[in-house]
Amino acid sequence: MKKPSLIAVIFASLVIGGCGTSVETGSIPGKAGGKPQANARSVALTAKNFEYSLSRIKIKVGEEIALKLKSDDNAHDFAVDGLGKIATVSGDSTVTRRLRVDKLGRYTFFCTLPGHRDGGMEGILVVKR
């Protein structure tokens, strides 16, 4: 059960990667961007040297998290395929944005800045029960 969906994700990211850094928006039900609720669970993600500190982020379906994106060097961002761009940070700063997905699945997240995704800035957002 796990393998086909992982292959699907890899295939999808290859297809998308083939046509540059296009970010599909709005095809997954959920909420992305803006200020998170005060009681939202915080998930910290650090971007540095073409890497995110997490290659996999697990959240529950319908759960709102406060994504804390921190950059230890240059500007970076965080986008989820099907949800669009959620957070952008300038160099050496932190930004906190809401993220909620209302559909189970595995979605690719990545940095949309030119060359960053190809340099390794991507991972998988696992939305589970």
In terms of Cβ atoms closer than 10 Å to its own Cβ (0-12, 13-18, 19+), residue 81 is buried
For residue 28, the tally of other CB atoms under 10 A from its CB is 19
- Which of 59, 64, 76, 108 is in the footprint of Cu ion by CB under 5 A? 76
For residue 3, the tally of other CB atoms under 10 A from its CB is 7
- Which of 64, 116, 125, 127 is in the footprint of Cu ion by CB under 5 A? 116
Of the pair 64, 113, the CB lying nearest Cu ion is at 113
Residues 92 and 17: their CA atoms lie apart, in Å, by 27
Quick check: helix, strand or coil at residue 49? Answer: coil
Residues 64 and 66: their CA atoms lie apart, in Å, by 7
Only segment of 5-13, 27-35, 70-78, 79-87 that touches Cu ion (CB under 5 A): 70-78
Of the pair 76, 98, the CB lying nearest Cu ion is at 76
Which contiguous run of DSSP H or E holds residue 5? helix 2-18
Cβ at position 78, least distance to Cu ion in Å: 9
Q: Does 113 bind Cu ion (CB under 5 A)?
A: yes
Of the pair 98, 116, the CB lying nearest Cu ion is at 116
Q: Running DSSP on this structure, what letter comes out for residue 50?
A: T
Of the pair 64, 112, the CB lying nearest Cu ion is at 112
- Which of 111, 124, 125, 127 is in the footprint of Cu ion by CB under 5 A? 111
Q: Which residues, 23 to 62, sit near Cu ion by CB under 5 A?
A: none
| Chain positions contacting Cu ion, by CB under 5 A | 76, 111, 113, 116, 121
